Amino acid sequence: MLQDLAFYLTLVIVIVLLIMLAKKIKVAYPVLLVLAGLGISFIPGTPIVEIEPELIFFIFLPPLLFEAAWNSSWKELWRWRRIIFSFAFVVVFFTAIVVAFAANYLIPGFSLALGFLLGGIVSPPDAVSAGAILKFVKIPKRFQSILEGESLLNDASSLIIFRFALIAVATGQFIWHQAIIDFVWMCVGGAGIGILIAFLFMKMHKLLPTDANMDTIFTLAAPFIMYLAAEELHASGVLSVVSGGLFLSVRRHHFLSGASRLHSINVWQSFSFLLNGMVFMLIGLDLPLIVSGLGDTSIFQATMYGVVITVVLIIIRMFASYGAVVFTLIMRNFINVADAESPGWKVPIVLGWTGMRGVVSLAAALSIPVTLADGSPFPHRNLILFITFVVILLTLVLQGLTLPLLLKKVKLKEKDFIKSEKEIDYEIRSELAKIAVEKVKKEYPEKLEQFPALKEQFQSWENRINSSEIIINYPEYQQIFADILEHQRMWLINKNREELLLDEEIVRKHLRLIDLQEERLSLGK
């Protein structure tokens, strides 16, 4: 590992440069990273990269899922719970069944149990890929919420199918009543363990004398402990992390200070940025090792199998998307649904095209044991690995590159949030200013003359209530304010350099305050 340290450090730099390029040319970075990893793997002298499944499942998966759960809206998840659960569980199970029969029919010597194993591996769409692509195109909030909610849960359902299929292949039998009991425990136990550990972490944050650094370390440790505890008890580690992350996210303002929230956001953004970039690069780098294990199956045959399975996956998701619309239109006559209006043909076709596969699928395929319990080779292991890689590559490149074009073509309309983001932002800021003014007038009127800083802030709130120039000319205001802040920053830096006896810690504190103002300015606050 140490001899390849320079190689991995170089990869980090390459990942950052490629993500810069992706933003510049408006292409989802997972696509570029996988293709770049594929290209680098063919360079002579490149170290052979062997991805350990434990590395993906334990090091990459828990923090990425926790970060996604932390940034999700529980309100939106609950509003669209029916369609989210349909796609995360029903559609995943249906996809695995269809893939199982297709693989059993298509691939010689491929049993139905192996088909279910492959179906469990390739059935869940990847959250990171869809999220990276949707950043370049504005879509309705409801659509984004459905995709985020689905991606939080579909990994759990697919891995449950994978586990049961793996047992069936290894033992040659499948006990239905035991499988049902195990399934219930994996779901209920996983969610319960995650919430219990999250509750304990919340109490630790509240009771212990922590600071921002300690709180951030606790949040970094939480997903790994949730995942490991659930897996040790044979429950779903994915559901444990997701449920625990949602539990803490909803209550973050009750147990974390403002400083801890700001600090943890910055740390988590950098951490998840590195993890996401590294994992997609590793997918491309792993191809030579996968190809070398194909054995008697030719690359052409294996590629064709992968192409057919990819087509099957796309068709199933399209079918499921339109089926969900029809089911909703029928059920609105009997129950209250989140949206009783018909979404038309546009929403299902876009939802059906967001089925990019990624890291979880590859990790599951890699975790297939090399041999069975009796020591014989695991049947078609390397072929399953190669098919999985082809599915990931094709869905990322084909759907990932064309999804922005599709979204621009169909032009989905925002039904829920008619006002623009700037209008909503301005209204909230004005209402907050009104609340502050009323609070001061009611409880602290005599303090205005006593504290000039309070009076100055009070006047700022009053001006904000009746001000509308920010919403009209915000870009120009932002540019002017940023120039002023930069001027202040340079003055502080020069003063610190010129005066030897000036306490640099105080200077750094004011520089951080300027940075904070600059950050607030970039957020339109």
The per-residue pLDDT for 400 is 81
Query: What pTM, to 2 d.p., does this model score?
Result: 0.81
Query: Angle at CA 301, nearest 5°, toward 298 and 306?
Result: 125
Whether 386 and 438 map to the same domain: the answer is: no
State the total domains in the chain.
Answer: 2
Cβ burial, residue 69 (10 Å; 0-12/13-18/19+): buried
The per-residue pLDDT for 216 is 92
Q: Are 103 and 119 in contact (CB under 8 A)?
A: yes
Which of the listed residues 407, 437, 464 is the one where a domain comes to its end?
Answer: 407
The per-residue pLDDT for 418 is 61
The per-residue pLDDT for 485 is 80
Q: Is 196 a domain residue? A: no
Q: Is 16 a domain residue? A: yes
DSSP SS3 for 394: helix
Query: Which residue range is the domain that position 336 belongs to?
Result: 2-173+278-407
The per-residue pLDDT for 525 is 47
Q: Is 204 a domain residue? A: no
Q: What confidence tens digit (pLDDT) does each residue in 103-138 have?
A: 999 988 888 889 999 999 999 887 666 666 666 667
Q: Is 223 a domain residue? A: no
Q: Are 318 and 348 in contact (CB under 8 A)?
A: yes
Which of the listed residues 407, 434, 452 is the one where a domain comes to its end?
Answer: 407
Whether 59 and 25 map to the same domain: the answer is: yes
Whether 30 and 147 map to the same domain: the answer is: yes
Whether 387 and 450 map to the same domain: the answer is: no
The per-residue pLDDT for 153 is 82
Whether 513 and 373 map to the same domain: the answer is: no
Whether 119 and 13 map to the same domain: the answer is: yes
Question: Which residue ranges of the chain lie beneath pLDDT 70?
Answer: 1-3, 51, 53, 127-137, 173-175, 295, 328-345, 414-424, 466-474, 477, 501, 522-525
Whether 124 and 164 map to the same domain: the answer is: yes
The per-residue pLDDT for 396 is 85
The per-residue pLDDT for 474 is 61
Q: Is 260 a domain residue? A: no
Residue 479 CB neighbours (<10 A): 11
List the CATH number of the domain containing 343: 1.20.1530.20
Residue 377's beta-bridge partner residues? 371
